[in-house]
Structures are given as structure tokens and as C-alpha cells.
């Protein structure tokens, strides 16, 4: 979808490329399920704010209780030092109409170069996701359009795309966390060669003796053991 720009030039953000081996910046702060929403405080009850709550704070049924996709915290830009603290967060959404005369509105206009800003004013683009901009393991989403009503409607119209992009980043984080100490590919390959299926197995799972074609793997933990059966 054209309005959700997956890759676009944002001059102030400076989408520079840094190789994984050469990126020594600090990790972003915060829980992977927390999102800092940066909007002027006068707009926290606006249509845009409600659309953001609807999309990213939607409640889903889990066991034992329902919970939101993300825990949203609304804040405004109070000072330059406060903006620097905001920039350390793991998940950040900046949202404001393109002409809004507030610290957030001015910041968003500063993020965009002239060509991108013109596309926003013409209704061609409104969402700009950026990964690992100021810190590693960071997801920033810039949302802007010609008015509060227009922005809110576009957010709701592209709910699946906006949410799936953030969820994809979250799943990548969990994958990196689970397999950061590598995985036992030899066990996965053995299952594939002998039984025609495979599962990814963490480095600290120990296989038990196989009898009767029943496979179990145990992960020893101080408080409780983890088991996996296939």
C-alpha cells in the first residue's frame, strides 16, 4: 500500500546503514510490549489518539485473561532533554497533523524532507516506520496527514499493515532473544533426516534417550524445568 511507506528518505532521521558487526550503539530501553506515543497533550483525546488506541492498544483474548497488543503511554515533548529521553525508548510513535503548531508537529516536519512532506500534503503517504534510528533494537513510527480526521481515518484503514509491521519487529526481537546463544541445528537436522520434520531447538535443551519413537528435550532451570515433546 502506497500510504504505508516501508522505505523512504527522511532527511533528519538520516537512514544510514550500519553493519550488524559494526553497530556498537546502546540498546533501546523499555519493554518490547510498551509503546511511547508522542503527541501534544491537547490531542490525547483527539480522533488520531483514539485511532492509535484502537489499533495498537486493541484487547485480544489470551489465557487466562484478555490483554492489549501493546501498553501505550502518551507523552508530549516538554524540552530538548525530554526528547532525548524519549528517543531512548524501544517503541515510539510520533503523531500529529502536518500543520500542527506544537513541539510534536514541528518535530515531525523536521523529520521529513521537502519531497516527503509534499507527498503527505497531497495525501499520498502518512506512515513512516524507521528501525534502529537512534538506538539498536528500536522501532519508530511517524504518523502525519493533513488533519486530525484524515490521519485518524488512514490509521484505521491500514490497521492490519501498521500493526503487522510492529508485531514483525517484536517477533524478530523474540527470535534474537531465544537464539542469541545459538541453536542446536544438528538435532533439527537429525529429526528432518530420520522423521521428515524439524523444529528449532535452543542451545540449552538436552535430548533424552529415544525409545518408541518418542522424542523429548529438557531444559534445566533453577526454578522449574522446561520440557518439549515431539
**Domains plus CATH for the chain?**
25-178 (3.30.379), 185-229 (no CATH)
Other beta carbons within 10 angstroms of residue 158's beta carbon come to 18
Whole-angstrom Cα distance, residue 150 to residue 157?
A: 10
Say which residue, 199 or 85, is predicted with more confidence.
85
Cβ neighbours for 229, distance < 8 A, ≥ 6 positions apart: 214, 215, 216, 217
Average pLDDT, the chain: 84
Question: How many helices and strands (H and E) does the chain possess?
Answer: 7, 10
Predicted confidence at residue 200, as pLDDT, reads 72
Residue 179's pLDDT band, with cuts at 50, 70 and 90, is: low
pLDDT at 66 over 50: yes
Other beta carbons within 10 angstroms of residue 141's beta carbon come to 22
pTM beyond 0.75: no
Predicted confidence at residue 18, as pLDDT, reads 43
Whole-angstrom Cα distance, residue 179 to residue 58?
A: 29
As a whole number, mean pLDDT of residues 30-53 equals: 96
CA distances from 136 to 19, 29, 113, 221 (A): 11, 9, 24, 29
Predicted confidence at residue 192, as pLDDT, reads 81
Whole-angstrom Cα distance, residue 138 to residue 187?
A: 33
- Return the SS3 of 133: coil
67-118 pLDDT, tens digit per residue, is: 899 999 999 999 999 999 999 999 999 999 999 999 999 999 999 999 999 9
Say which residue, 144 or 220, is predicted with more confidence.
144
As a whole number, mean pLDDT of residues 186-203 equals: 76
Say which residue, 217 or 113, is predicted with more confidence.
113
Predicted confidence at residue 13, as pLDDT, reads 45
Helices 47-56 and 159-178, interaxial angle, to 10°?
50
Amino acid at each position: 500500500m502506497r500510504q504505508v511507506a516501508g522505505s523512504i528518505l527522511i532527511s533528519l532521521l538520516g537512514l544510514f546503514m550500519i553493519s550488524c558487526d559494526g553497530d556498537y550503539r546502546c540498546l533501546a530501553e523499555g519493554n518490547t510490549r510498551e509503546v511511547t506515543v508522542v503527541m501534544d497533550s491537547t490531542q490525547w483525546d483527539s480522533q488520531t489518539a483514539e485511532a492509535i488506541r484502537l489499533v495498537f492498544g486493541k484487547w485480544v483474548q489470551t489465557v487466562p485473561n484478555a490483554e492489549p497488543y501493546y501498553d501505550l503511554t502518551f507523552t508530549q515533548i516538554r524540552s530538548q532533554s525530554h526528547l532525548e529521553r524519549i528517543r531512548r525508548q524501544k517503541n515510539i510513535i510520533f503523531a500529529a497533523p502536518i500543520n500542527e503548531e506544537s513541539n510534536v508537529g514541528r518535530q515531525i516536519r523536521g523529520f521529513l524532507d521537502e519531497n516527503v512532506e509534499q507527498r503527505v500534503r497531497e495525501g499520498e503517504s502518512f506512515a513512516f516506520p524507521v528501525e534502529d534510528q537512534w538506538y539498536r533494537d528500536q522501532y519508530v513510527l511517524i504518523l502525519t496527514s493533513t488533519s486530525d480526521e484524515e490521519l485518524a481515518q488512514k490509521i484505521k484503514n491500514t490497521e492490519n499493515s501498521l500493526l503487522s509491521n510492529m508485531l514483525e519487529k517484536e517477533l524478530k526481537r523474540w527470535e534474537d532473544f531465544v537464539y542469541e546463544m545459538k541453536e542446536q541445528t544438528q538435532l533439527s537436522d537429525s529429526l528432518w533426516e530420520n522423521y521428515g520434520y524439524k523444529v528449532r531447538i535452543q542451545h540449552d535443551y538436552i535430548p533424552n534417550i529415544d525409545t518408541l519413537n518418542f522424542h523429548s528435550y529438557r531444559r534445566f532451570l533453577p526454578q522449574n524445568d522446561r520440557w518439549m515433546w515431539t
